[in-house]
Structure 1
Amino acid sequence: MSRVEVHGLTKDTEGLMSGSNRKVAMGVVHLIEMAQLWMDSVLDRHLTNVNG
């Protein structure tokens, strides 16, 4: 799942959730985004080491 899909899912369902459920969902999306950024940086470093 890409970052765009995660944001799209959040925007589509945002109006259907309220209160604590919405906060939990937004927190999960944020964690997924952070994990994706971290993995991107790990893979970039790995590829640089392999190609460099």
Structure 2
Amino acid sequence: MAWTLRLSEHEEAALHAQAVLEGRSKQEITRDALRTYLERQRTWEDYLSDEPVVFS
């Protein structure tokens, strides 16, 4: 799966500064942040064990 993440100039500069500070790539930092966010917000496991959910 491929994603495109568009950041504002300010966000890009902040990410670059964090990458330099941590000695990691911007891609690593972004990947870890997205993974952490998705794990904290995960709700789909609830639906996998029950009847199918239909959104109308």
TM category (shorter chain) comes to: 0.3 to 0.5
* Larger of the two Rg values belongs to structure: 2
Highest RCO, 1 vs 2 (Cα 8 Å, sep ≥ 6):
1
Name the one with the larger helix percent: 1
TM (norm. structure 2) is 0.34
TM (norm. structure 1) is 0.35
